[in-house]
Structure 1
């Protein structure tokens, strides 16, 4: 145990070596990896694997000549000289022998220096999970958690879903407002088949990124260089992607269409339903190079989520072995929801000269949402006979609570968000200046009609604020009131003006590499409603990052970052539990401090990297909230303070040669103090996280590959019933445990092309299956609260997530 702690917390003390590592990935001009490239050096040699990857070590303080040769490509010769324990990243592009040699070296930008985690797009493609995509990879990282496999939303270091920035090609993207369940989400905005680069920061990010409190996911869509078609299909849906270039390669275009059906997952839950979901998404990215200096781009998206849900019955057993309980529910009615979103963005990149680049963007996002349901539920809460010798063992012996309830909603929302922004980047030697300004308008029209009537043993349960009556001794003639009733009509206009400026410098201090960044953001906004308007509010957000890579024998990088971060309220944060708008809600504020260490080393003659980060957040003017599945409901005030701190550790490397995997561990503690009542756990207080992403193949059959995804999270707070004081309900849900396995066989890929037979038409053909929740563990995400008519006690009955599910899939490229 002591050795393990030293490995995780004091990486600078281990793996002392006297060699440097040279690694990279060799490709051709079509970005296809080259297998079998002979690499010779110092009378030694190695070759690239099926993915074009290679790695070897060289002695320190000695110039080594390395030759890269292949029978079909021109030879490349490179010299390496290491003054200390370092890692050289050299990824040449080899040209065919029939062409004139023109070496191209792809230089790593070392995004890790800036506290950014760079994720390989190949992992997104191969990772198995209920919601395969970019977000699914994030769930395996330390500090990132989500207990709902039907949702692509994620919490980062104690923040909620609304505190995460998501960019696609430098443009901020949004998600629908009214979605309250993960099974309603359908598809993430990000289409993984269009992605080229993925960068992620869990805190302490630069000023060029916007005003949120938790994280940044920065996605870049690719620009095609050749014609291609990609088709994926499975029992959960499918996707079609086509790409090509036109007008003498000046215009590149890529189009992706996706369809999703969650019936397979919902049918594995404990609620029997008639379920007909239709989740459709169409995206396109066009790029036109008008001349050497000007490039015009367009990013467009249309999505339509039709969610028709008709619950029939539910049977849930819970409690302890000594006191087991069972809830049986019979439903009538249905839910019909529709979420339609449109997004379009035009941008122009103008390269004034080699040092100055200017980008202008105009974008607009519209969401039209309908949430209509009428569902009546009759329930029986009973004690289960736990006497093994009884004839009625396992059956309900006594009913503690019998009742019913009706839930009704006619909620409609229309939101239009438009903005225009201008950015500039100026490079001056080792210095870089960035600046930008953005103006945004938001118009939201929201109609809320939502109520719930609760009946227990023939008596309507009055809302908590209702004055009691003296029945049956005195007749009560008042009207029946819903237990919960929200009626509101809101039209809100928000105008925002924000901007930033930041300075970066990369230099050397003696023989040590140093990188620094200083920046500041400003954000001014006002809120207008039909009856009131707020004063102009203004926030400043100074931020800084510093990193140093010492010239030591060990390959170490130390960094520290932080600043004062603000999150001006969005529409949902202005609306309280009763649907009323408070235009005076202030920005939530947080002080970030992040200290990290990256240690690259060689183990088993393969490259590994250990990343450790400590972080602390002090939050003020917090707008506290409750979470029900993926719906967040705010208090719409700023009477709460909070804090969060923790430790994140990730070890990644080639546990299996040629396949990068990782193990991550995270510890988090976050608490809040609501209106000076004392500190309690926040809804996202997930203390411990353990995640594994593992890739392997059969040694004698390398085309048969396996992917394993394991996540363990300790339990979240279980929430509280409506109108209840959260301080009286501080129980936690059970721990979240899940393992997903994927197996696939590669019939054709870049390194396995066929000249005859039907396989000759495929650039890639893969067939496999996925087994979700291998051990069929019953995980829960929220509680349903049921009242016992006798004791007046309320029971939190867990809403269990999906069970074991088998999915078949096929992927092909032409």
Structure 2
């Protein structure tokens, strides 16, 4: 909800003030009841099948409340200026409740192509069970106040500002996991041989049952952040074109890490004035960026906090070209961009079953470099469609690991290709169709970290299958007298993953004590999903 009030004689007159209030409330509840699953995996030489039978459910809750107020006044200082004072408040609660028990059976399949029982179960390698229990609750309050001023000069505009932010976070983190893998409770604490009678060994298992993972922690975090910035934006006309520049610096301070960082950055755009290069535009950008850790980045896998985590530092270098051209007497734009990002003091992370786990320190280095290409325009008159293609590498290495060298980051999917196409009925432009095609590389993965450690970069020596998806959507813009009071109303129906491609989202690692190994069983995304939407602008 947005409310705006204009105070003064006109929207662009000196002394005119504007007051805006924005509020947003969201309440989300999701209940999941796991279904029994059967997954075939492995190779022709070792074909396996995993059957899992679930009991229990999961509940997730996400509530947010956001309120912002802004006061803006035209000052006319030095030929034109704006003063802005704003304050925001944000509150969020997150709830995770899980009670799930799974019983699984690991089977070997008949891989004899000439057998009548090809593909059927030939041997039950083992049975097991696991139990997940979670009672996690997060409550966070974040508030900030900001003052910003824009001063207009003859040749450039100068912007400066300051911001103060406070954070109050309460986290109750309690979860455990029990695994009975092929007849052995993990971790296996062993047994003690008591006696030997008639050549037979008699032993006593170790006392107690040790859980595979167990976390029970309650944390309260108070933090204060401050930042200030200054920025100059203007243009320099030349004989063959015009240079636009945007130069500035940002200073940040965080109470917990007690460090002050200054980050300069600059961006230049050159637009030729006529001639053979009139259809081109070039952009050059460079800067130093500091990303201060938030609560999730400070929390270790065992639930403790490392408040000494410092900010990540990144150097960004970007070169971009835009070219305007025409096809079928309609406008198109081709964009080509290359970039390099070098990161220091990296807080390494891993993804365990779609949950991000941070190492909680600054013992990593990372780099990301690649090229993006995009063509967008009116392939069908009056609609916008585009093609994109990206090639990139995302690598990292630990400065404390004995295994040196660069390794793939969890986000290193190598390439992405996407097409978005729109069309409409010839005699009814209010009825539209959209088609989206996506193809991406697989993500790197490896065994989960043991104990309270996350998986290290050198452990990701596997790669998932490519990601592919096709979506189709239908949109109808409504009209009539009853819609005159609204700016626009439309309804849409979308079918995600139309072809039901089986895309891997994560892997379940099944440990087999008898074979002294573990197997990566893929978890797949939803095969097909129908999404209905009603959109109203007023």
Structure 1 SS opposite 2:297: helix
Alignment of 1:478-557 (within 5 A): 478-527=207-256, 534=257, 536-551=258-273, 552-554=275-277, 555-557=279-281
1:633–1:613: structure 2 CA closer, same or farther, 3 Å change rule?
same
Deviation at 1:362, TM superposition (A): 1.0
Deviation at 1:395, TM superposition (A): 2.7
Deviation at 1:305, TM superposition (A): 1.5
Q: For residues 494 and 373 of structure 1, what CA distance do their matches in structure 2 show?
A: 30
1:603–1:297: structure 2 CA closer, same or farther, 3 Å change rule?
same
Is the deviation greater in 634-643 or in 339-348? 339-348
Q: Which residue does the alignment assign to 2:13?
A: none
Alignment of 1:170-249 (within 5 A): none
Q: Which residue does the alignment assign to 2:51?
A: 328
2:329 to 605, 612, 621: 605
Q: Which residue does the alignment assign to 2:443?
A: 716
Quick check: 2:89–2:142 contact (8 Å CA) kept in 1?
Answer: yes
1:738–1:439: structure 2 CA closer, same or farther, 3 Å change rule?
same
Deviation at 1:431, TM superposition (A): 0.4
Structure 1 SS opposite 2:210: coil
Structure 2 SS opposite 1:305: strand
Q: Which residue does the alignment assign to 2:159?
A: 434
- RMSD (CA atoms): 2.4
Quick check: 1:523–1:538 contact (8 Å CA) kept in 2?
Answer: yes
Structure 1, unaligned stretches of length 5 or more?
Answer: 1-283, 528-533
Q: Which residue does the alignment assign to 1:797?
A: 521
1:605–1:636: structure 2 CA closer, same or farther, 3 Å change rule?
same
Quick check: 2:127–2:183 contact (8 Å CA) kept in 1?
Answer: no
1:303 aligns with 2:26: yes
Structure 1 SS opposite 2:296: helix
1:575 aligns with 2:299: yes
Quick check: 1:719–1:782 contact (8 Å CA) kept in 2?
Answer: no
Alignment of 1:130-145 (within 5 A): none
Q: For residues 351 and 506 of structure 2, what CA distance do their matches in structure 1 show?
A: 8
Alignment of 1:83-122 (within 5 A): none
Deviation at 1:700, TM superposition (A): 5.3
Quick check: 1:626–1:719 contact (8 Å CA) kept in 2?
Answer: no
Q: Which digits, 9 at most, give the CA deviation of each residue in 1:149-207, with x for residues without a partner?
A: xxxxxxxxxxxxxxxxxxxxxxxxxxxxxxxxxxxxxxxxxxxxxxxxxxxxxxxxxxx
Q: Which residue does the alignment assign to 2:2?
A: 285
Deviation at 1:391, TM superposition (A): 4.1
Quick check: 1:403–1:456 contact (8 Å CA) kept in 2?
Answer: yes
Q: For residues 443 and 760 of structure 1, what CA distance do their matches in structure 2 show?
A: 46
1:696–1:387: structure 2 CA closer, same or farther, 3 Å change rule?
same
Q: TM-score, normalised by structure 1?
A: 0.60
Q: For residues 573 and 548 of structure 1, what CA distance do their matches in structure 2 show?
A: 39
Q: Which residue does the alignment assign to 1:735?
A: 466
Quick check: 2:281–2:323 contact (8 Å CA) kept in 1?
Answer: yes
1:719–1:301: structure 2 CA closer, same or farther, 3 Å change rule?
farther
1:410 aligns with 2:135: yes
Alignment of 1:722-801 (within 5 A): 722-723=449-450, 725-726=455-456, 727-746=458-477, 748-749=478-479, 769-801=493-525
Q: Which residue does the alignment assign to 2:85?
A: 360
Q: Which digits, 9 at most, give the CA deviation of each residue in 1:487-544, with x for residues without a partner?
A: 21111111111110011112311241110111111111122xxxxxx5x211111100
Is the deviation greater in 393-402 or in 514-523? 393-402
Is the deviation greater in 325-334 or in 382-391? 382-391
Deviation at 1:474, TM superposition (A): 4.1
Quick check: 1:596–1:611 contact (8 Å CA) kept in 2?
Answer: yes
Quick check: 1:384–1:395 contact (8 Å CA) kept in 2?
Answer: yes
How many residue pairs are counted as aligned between the two chains?
Answer: 514
Deviation at 1:792, TM superposition (A): 2.0
Q: For residues 346 and 771 of structure 1, what CA distance do their matches in structure 2 show?
A: 38
Q: Which digits, 9 at most, give the CA deviation of each residue in 1:289-313, with x for residues without a partner?
A: 1324111111111111222222241
Quick check: 2:446–2:459 contact (8 Å CA) kept in 1?
Answer: no
Structure 2, unaligned stretches of length 5 or more?
Answer: 10-15, 194-200
Quick check: 2:148–2:162 contact (8 Å CA) kept in 1?
Answer: yes
1:379 aligns with 2:104: yes
Deviation at 1:322, TM superposition (A): 4.9
Q: For residues 312 and 740 of structure 1, what CA distance do their matches in structure 2 show?
A: 25
Q: For residues 543 and 720 of structure 1, what CA distance do their matches in structure 2 show?
A: 39
Is the deviation greater in 671-680 or in 342-351? 671-680
Q: Which residue does the alignment assign to 1:246?
A: none
